[in-house]
């Protein structure tokens, strides 16, 4: 296994991490990323295998769980109830309860709202050059998730600010200032949600929070802390990735001069899947080994951690023909943007629906849309998203 040194905050890497992934993949299915002190895989086969292998999981083995500094306890107290960080049996219980409320029918019923909101947001675009992320990419997902939860829409700016601060905990090179912002946001978010959950217990409505309160499986319900964490997770994970995907997707469509036909009703699903494959929002996700296990010739000992490079796996030439080319007409194949197996993203159907509705409307209403400046990615790895996307209509 070869070792590579590559700072995740290096400007060239931030703007284009894919050449590094290609160099690492050329040496085999696994490599050592010195800057993280982690074994990593850019291989689609290895990523897929580990995501589906129950000998690996998100929860750290008890003897490997890192000590939590006192100043971060409020943040990790919320994380302790997150589906994203848990394994069976707690994960199974939480996910089954959440899915009783977060149904495909409930998500599909949002289509008219997503459609109308897309038109409404476009109507408010300022004259001249405008930042699509600020006026559309951030607004659409956070307003939809607020409506879905039943949270007042006027809270969306607060929700966005809290969410942005919390996801700073997953970015490379985080500082004490980043951590303090994340903790302050966590405490504000929890205080708001606790009050709102209690209000919904006393005054049920037709919203996701009410349905989460009512969700029951074999006599079991979500606790208030589990409910709060689930709502925070749905907002943070459910909108952060969609914001970046809208930005990355529009950038790609404009740079590649993709014809409008790719956004037609019979082709939009394939185009969105190619956007998700080609330049996804989340690039690195980790798993712990729960026992000694071998994957594609690489031996992991119990307690070892492995980093799965989702974006690299999506450009594996062993799976994709000319993977560095954006091609909306590709034959359909599953990509790894939303993960796989037990932890497959609960919010994937909503993210896909938002993209499939919003992108055609954007280009239909603004057929002369073009870049007003060369787009640049923000220094936010493990995420991969633009700092802004300045456009001209």
Q: pLDDT of 140-166, one tens digit each?
A: 999 999 999 898 888 888 998 999 899
SS3 of the chain: CEEECCCCCCHHHHHCCHHHHHHHHCCCCCEEECCCCEEEECCHHHHHHHHHCCCEECCCCCCCCCCCCHHHHHHHHHHCCCHHHCCCCHHHHHHHHHHHHCCHHHHHCCHHHHHHHHHHHHHCCCCCCEEHHHHHHCHHHHHHHHHHHCCCHHHHHHHHHHHHHHHHHHCCCCCHHHHHHHHHHHHHHHHHHHHHHHHHHHCCCCCHHHHHHHCCECCECCCHHHHHHHHHHHHHHHHHHHHHHHHHHHHHHHHCCCCHHHHCCCCHHHHHHHHHHHCCCECEEEEEECCCEEECCEEECCCCEEEEEHHHHCCCCCCCCCCCCCCCCCCCCCCCCCCCHHHCCCCHHHHHHHHHHHHHHHHHHCCCCEECCCCEECCCCCECCEEECEEEC
Alpha-carbon dihedral of residues 249, 17, 164, 239, nearest 10 degrees? 30
Q: How many CB atoms within 10 Å of residue 214?
A: 14
| Alpha carbon distance 251, 207 (integer Å) | 34
Backbone angles phi, psi at 290, to 5 degrees: -95, -10
| Alpha carbon distance 232, 238 (integer Å) | 9
Backbone angles phi, psi at 143, to 5 degrees: -70, -40
Q: pLDDT of 300-325, one tens digit each?
A: 999 999 999 999 999 999 999 999 99
In the chain the domains, ranked by start, together with CATH numbers, are 2-392 (1.10.630.10)
| Alpha carbon distance 269, 289 (integer Å) | 35
More confident residue, 363 or 214: 363
Backbone angles phi, psi at 385, to 5 degrees: -150, 160
Q: pLDDT of 238-295, one tens digit each?
A: 678 899 999 999 999 999 999 999 999 999 999 999 999 999 999 999 999 999 999 9
Going by pLDDT thresholds of 50, 70 and 90, the confidence category of residue 90 is very high
Put simply, whether the predicted model's pTM sits higher than 0.85 gets the answer yes
Q: pLDDT of 173-188, one tens digit each?
A: 889 999 999 999 999 9
Instruction: Please state which of the ranges 169-173, 305-309, 340-344, 359-363 shows the lowest mean pLDDT.
Output: 169-173
More confident residue, 332 or 305: 305
Going by pLDDT thresholds of 50, 70 and 90, the confidence category of residue 63 is confident
pLDDT value at position 172?
83
């Amino acid at each position: 296994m070869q070792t590579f040194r590559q700072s995740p905050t290096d400007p060239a890497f931030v703007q284009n991490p894919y050449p590094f992934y290609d160099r690492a993949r050329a040496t085999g299915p696994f490599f050592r990323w010195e800057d993280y002190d982690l074994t990593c895989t850019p291989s689609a086969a290895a990523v897929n295998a580990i995501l589906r292998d129950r000998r690996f999981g998100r929860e750290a083995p008890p003897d490997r769980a890192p000590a939590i500094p006192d100043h971060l306890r409020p943040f990790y107290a919320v994380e302790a109830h997150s589906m994203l960080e848990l394994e069976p049996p707690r994960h199974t219980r939480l996910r089954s309860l959440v899915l009783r409320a977060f149904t495909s029918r409930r998500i599909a019923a949002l289509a008219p709202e997503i459609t109308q909101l897309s038109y409404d947001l476009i109507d408010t675009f300022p004259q001249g050059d405008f930042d699509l992320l600020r006026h559309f990419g951030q607004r659409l997902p956070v307003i939809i998730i607020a409506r879905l939860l039943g949270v007042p829409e006027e809270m969306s700016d607060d929700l966005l600010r809290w969410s942005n601060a919390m996801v700073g905990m997953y970015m490379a090179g985080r500082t004490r200032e980043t951590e303090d912002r994340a903790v302050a946001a966590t405490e504000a978010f929890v205080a708001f949600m606790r009050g709102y959950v209690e209000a919904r217990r006393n005054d049920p409505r037709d919203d996701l929070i009410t349905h989460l309160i009512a969700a029951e499986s074999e006599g079991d319900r979500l606790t208030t802390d589990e409910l709060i964490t689930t709502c925070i997770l749905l907002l943070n994970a459910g909108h952060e990735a969609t914001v970046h995907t809208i930005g990355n997707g529009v950038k790609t469509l404009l740079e590649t001069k993709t014809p409008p036909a790719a956004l037609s009703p019979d082709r939009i699903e394939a185009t969105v899947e190619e956007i998700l494959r080609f330049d996804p929002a989340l690039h690195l996700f980790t798993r712990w080994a729960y026992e000694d296990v071998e994957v594609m010739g690489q031996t992991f000992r119990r307690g070892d951690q492995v980093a799965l490079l989702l974006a690299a796996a999506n450009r594996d030439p062993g799976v994709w023909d000319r993977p560095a080319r954006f091609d909306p007409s590709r034959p359909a194949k599953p990509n790894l943007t939303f993960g796989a197996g037990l932890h497959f993203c609960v919010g994937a159907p909503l993210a896909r629906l938002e993209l499939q509705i919003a992108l055609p409307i954007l280009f239909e209403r603004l057929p002369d849309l073009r870049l007003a400046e060369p787009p640049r990615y923000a220094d936010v790895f493990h995420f991969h998203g633009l700092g802004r996307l300045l456009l001209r209509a």
